[in-house]
Amino acid sequence: MLLFAASVPTVRHHRDQRIHDRIDVNLSDRAVARSDHTVLVRDIDTVFRGEKIRGRMVEPEGAAAPLPPGVQRYPHPGEMLVSPALRRLLAAPGNGLLRERLAHPVAGEIGDAGLLDPGEHVFYLVANHMTADAAQTRRIDHFGKTYAKKPLPLELVLLCVVGIVVLLLPIGAFIAAAVRFGGERRDRRMAALRLVGANRGMTATIAAGEVALSTLAGIALGVLLFVTGRQFAGTVQIQGLGVFTEDLTPQPLLAALVVVAVLTLSLGITQLSMHKVAVEPLGVVRKSGSTSRRLWWRAALPLLGLILLRISVRNPADLYGTSGVVLVLTGILSLLVGVTAVLPWAVERLTRLFGGFGPLPWQLALRGLQLNGESATRSVNGIAVAVAGAVALQTLLTGLSQNPVDDTAGGARGLSASTRIAVAHLDGGHARGAQYGPALATAPGVQRAIGFQEVSVSPLDGGFPQTVLIADCDQLRLLAQLPACSDGDAFLTVPPARDTMPDMTTWAAGLKLRVDMNGPRWTVPHITSTVRATPACPAAVSSERTLLATPAAAGHTAIAHAVSAVGLTYATGFKDVQDHIRTAAARLDPAFSVDFDERSQGDPALDGVRRALLAGVTAVLVLIAASMLLGAVEQVRERARVLSVLVAFGTPRRTLATSVLLQSVLPIGLGLLVAESIGTALGSTLLELAGRPVTHNWSTLLAIAGIGAAVSLGVTLLTLPALWRSTRPQGLRHE
């Protein structure tokens, strides 16, 4: 897992490079003239059942036209190249709607160089009728662009710092616990060595040597598993993220740091644990049980973390400095390490309060916790730290992703709760919105289709863009509540009464505006009256006033630069209704884009970081669960003789199984309670640092705790076969 973490910089570098290599926009001020070395490109992205598909329509203008990364040659017009993941998606049963939408012959596959990860869905469709003067079509003479590095937003810096700690600290906590696997038998071996003449220094050195050798063997096995596992990296996706095999290459310095850190931590924990054990020639004496654990320094750790976080960032820009990041890291570490410090005290207090009474399995469980409390809490610490970190991370993500509610859905428009609207656009549609409307009206689930033309105009000084919708009177009556209408009229919509955003538009008859940003000049026609838009009109939720014009009022200039559009009203209860609409639009023209009236989709960068961190947390929990199983089995083996004696005296096995389950449930329950409390406090403090309101998604937080509990209980149940074997009569044999 640590070697995977050491590969993250390489993964990010390769991914960024592939993003830059396939940029297909002319970002320079230089105009690109048609030649044998140019290609026309247009975005035709789509979505299928929530899965984003990156699409490009391309038309090479000469034999030497540049090729996109991962493409060896352009196929014939009308054919397309697809990524391997998209080919599988097209071939999957039940995806006939997508096959109907992308009903073009597949001439080949896109190579890895043109994909961000093995699971990305991408296609290139070759056309032969594209025009360079269309608004969304661009001419380029090369693919790729190098961007200068720019700092991440402050929120993402904080999110990345928290994510790194949350991912790595649970691994460190479990390494510390794993070093003590088999500690009972090791201590007995040390006592035997004392019997033949070894002093305390020699036994400590021998114990360190044993741990060093086993740690080095474990590191070697880990390297072997990493090298083997990376060969299958392209077939695995977590939270929608995947990597190529060559991406998983650890940076040499980080890989060396992993080896040194694991070895140092193992030796340090071993030496600390030896201080509590007196290895004498006749046995092993543990210095525990006579003194109770003190709470003050254990509670001081999370309190210190909160104080450090409160004083670490006076100004959000401090996060860009080394001192600010160090203080934040120290505060987070103190809070999360506080989980491992508070948990043993909580377990001890529980056993003292409730010991001595209750059913037999309960008493056995509490007595086991009194005698082996450290072993029980060691195995739970990894899960507790992971849950605390995940809770803090989720709280931070919830707060950062909070956007003002977009009241464009359902009742906010005056539509029923089961009705939404969409707008289909086609640049270069030759003002045929009225003809496209009836065709889209036949799509399953569509209730109404209103065809119109749409053009953007702006002040001559380059001010705020404004929208003009052009249609005949029959269509305009569907878009607004008109008193009367004849060709030559123009109407101005009123912003919604609930809207508090300022109106940036400037409409006045005779005012000179410019079509698009660099098009010809256009004069605002006489405005007949001000009207209120219907719920089916895109202007119904806009904070800006929109001009509705008949063809005679709009004039030839506006119509020539207009985009064909169709406003759609559809029923949300119809299965795959959005995919049906996209497919119907693609059948009319592959360049049709459909925008659905939904809530804000959030920040793509924040969504990418969120998915990466949640993928890491998932992987860490799986790792800890597998390791916990080893620890639980080891504990059962250590207690094999005691369990056999209990069975020999007539204790039912179900009683022992219940006691083992309770002995795991109690530390788990306390650990999750402590983890949720500290994780919530950490997440809330981090949100205050970022200047965001503190909000909690309680259902998600409970789900995280449930996952932690399920992992722990699942591990406990898997130890039952080892328990049955340990309670056989043969376990009574002892030398």
Q: Which of the pair, 696 or 246, is modelled with greater confidence?
A: 246
Tens digits of residue pLDDT in 101-132: 999 999 999 999 999 999 999 999 999 888 88
Phi-psi region of 691 (alpha: psi -120 to 50; beta: other; left: phi over 0): left
Q: What does the alpha-carbon distance between residue 571 and residue 448 come to, in Å, rounded to a whole number?
A: 10
Minimum mean pLDDT among 65-74, 134-143, 725-734: which range? Answer: 725-734
Dihedral of CA 104/108/109/111: which sign? negative
Instruction: Quote the pLDDT of residue 433.
Output: 60
| Residue 687, C-beta contacts closer than 8 angstroms, at least 6 positions apart | 395, 396, 399, 400, 693, 694, 695
Q: How many CB atoms lie within 10 A of CB 358?
A: 12
Say whether 522 sits in a helix, a strand or coil.
strand
What mean pLDDT, rounded, does the chain reach? Answer: 83
Instruction: Quote the pLDDT of residue 608.
Output: 64
User: What is the largest distance, in Å, between two alpha-carbon atoms of the chain?
Assistant: 111
Tens digits of residue pLDDT in 244-301: 999 999 999 999 999 999 999 999 988 887 776 666 766 666 554 455 778 888 888 8
Phi then psi for residue 143, to 5 deg, are -100, 145
The yes-or-no verdict on residue 369 having pLDDT over 70 is: yes
Which has the closest alpha carbon to 609: 240, 215, 142?
240
Q: 577 with 571: CB under 8 angstroms?
A: yes
Q: What does the alpha-carbon distance between residue 623 and residue 27 come to, in Å, rounded to a whole number?
A: 45
- Mean pLDDT of the 224-241 span: 84
Q: In sequence order, what are the beta bridge partners of 459?
A: 513
Q: 715 with 667: CB under 8 angstroms?
A: no
Name the pTM for this structure.
0.76
Tens digits of residue pLDDT in 176-202: 777 877 777 777 788 888 888 888 888
Say whether 356 sits in a helix, a strand or coil.
coil
How many residues appear in the chain?
Answer: 735
The yes-or-no verdict on residue 430 having pLDDT over 70 is: no
Q: What does the alpha-carbon distance between residue 53 and residue 86 come to, in Å, rounded to a whole number?
A: 8
| Residue 618, C-beta contacts closer than 8 angstroms, at least 6 positions apart | 238, 239
Minimum mean pLDDT among 202-216, 470-484, 678-692: which range? Answer: 678-692
Q: What does the alpha-carbon distance between residue 213 and residue 206 come to, in Å, rounded to a whole number?
A: 11
Confidence of residue 57 (pLDDT cuts 50, 70, 90): very high
The yes-or-no verdict on residue 726 having pLDDT over 70 is: yes
Minimum mean pLDDT among 24-28, 301-305, 426-430, 660-664: which range? Answer: 426-430
Q: Which of the pair, 598 or 510, is modelled with greater confidence?
A: 510
Instruction: Quote the pLDDT of residue 1.
Output: 83
The yes-or-no verdict on residue 379 having pLDDT over 60 is: yes
Instruction: Quote the pLDDT of residue 486.
Output: 94
Q: How many CB atoms lie within 10 A of CB 383?
A: 28
- Mean pLDDT of the 290-313 span: 80
Tens digits of residue pLDDT in 595-637: 987 644 555 656 666 666 666 667 777 766 776 777 677 777 7
Burial class (CB in 10 A: 0-12, 13-18, 19+), 447: middle
Instruction: Quote the pLDDT of residue 408.
Output: 44
Percent share of the chain, pLDDT over 90 = 35
Q: What does the alpha-carbon distance between residue 353 and residue 344 come to, in Å, rounded to a whole number?
A: 14
Q: What does the alpha-carbon distance between residue 56 and residue 43 come to, in Å, rounded to a whole number?
A: 5
Q: Which of the pair, 451 or 542, is modelled with greater confidence?
A: 451
Say whether 99 sits in a helix, a strand or coil.
helix
| Residue 130, C-beta contacts closer than 8 angstroms, at least 6 positions apart | 40, 42, 57, 59, 137
Q: Which of the pair, 624 or 412, is modelled with greater confidence?
A: 624
Burial class (CB in 10 A: 0-12, 13-18, 19+), 253: exposed
Burial 91-118 (b: 16+ CB within 10 A, else e): eeeebeebeebbebebbebbebebbbbb
Q: 215 with 263: CB under 8 angstroms?
A: yes
Minimum mean pLDDT among 110-124, 203-217, 603-617, 704-718: which range? Answer: 603-617
